Amino acid sequence: LTDELIDEIATNDKVIKYIDIPLQHADDGVLKLMNRKGTGEGYLELIKKLRENIPEIAIRSTFITGFPRESEEAFNNLVEFLGKAKLFNAGFFKYSNEQGTPASRLDGHIKESVKTARLKKLYSAQKKVVKENNRKLVNKTLEVVAEGFDQDELVYYGRAYFNAPEIDGKVYFFSKSEVQYGKYYQVKIIKATGYDLYGERQ
């Protein structure tokens, strides 16, 4: 992510202000074992730079827990990173041992039960961040592309620019008049629940 690319995202109206950076971890030792060049502190600096240059940027990432030799301290560093980074969305996966890969030849493989417990903690930590992020959107008006109608909730649903299809949350909204799927509507957010937002068409 060069300064030139960040500037292009900031100034080009054709580029959506959403970026997915698969960081994979935030502990320096684990990152080195993964043969990744970054550091946790470096990642925070990059996130800070993105937000300073593109205030509305929505940043998503993915992380792996249970990588060989991931100590409790290393795992806690990742949890702490999530609280500092305040990513808009994040996905988490358990390390899966693939024969023939460099990682498969490492010692210190993590028990499946430990990996599962750590995965749950990561989702729990990120859920708090999402709740905090979404709370800031209440009473704001977003541009939402309509995608369908929820028969249970009896409201329409769609996506704002920070909702990637299938993997992120949705924006549910009430409309007094008919809505055409694929078209954009202004929706005032009135409630945030988990990963989803609820609002009214303006």
64-123 pLDDT, tens digit per residue, is 999 999 999 999 999 999 999 999 999 999 999 888 898 888 899 999 999 999 999 999
Task: Give the number of other CB atoms < 10 A from CB of residue 115.
Answer: 21
pTM of the predicted model, to two decimals?
0.90
> What pLDDT score does 99 carry?
86
Contact call for residues 93 and 48 (beta carbons, < 8 A): no
Helix (H, G, I), strand (E, B) or coil at 174: strand
> What pLDDT score does 153 carry?
87
Q: How far apart are CA 75 and CA 81, in angstroms?
A: 10
Q: Is the dihedral of CA 148, 152, 153, 155 positive or negative?
A: positive
DSSP per-residue letters across 54-84: -TT-EEEEEEEE--TT--HHHHHHHHHHHHH
Helix (H, G, I), strand (E, B) or coil at 99: coil
pLDDT tens column, 126-175: 999 999 999 999 999 999 999 999 999 899 999 999 999 888 999 999 99
| Residue 108 backbone class (left: φ over 0; alpha: ψ -120 to 50; beta: rest) | left
Angle between helical axes of 40-53 and 3-11 (0-180°, round to 10): 30
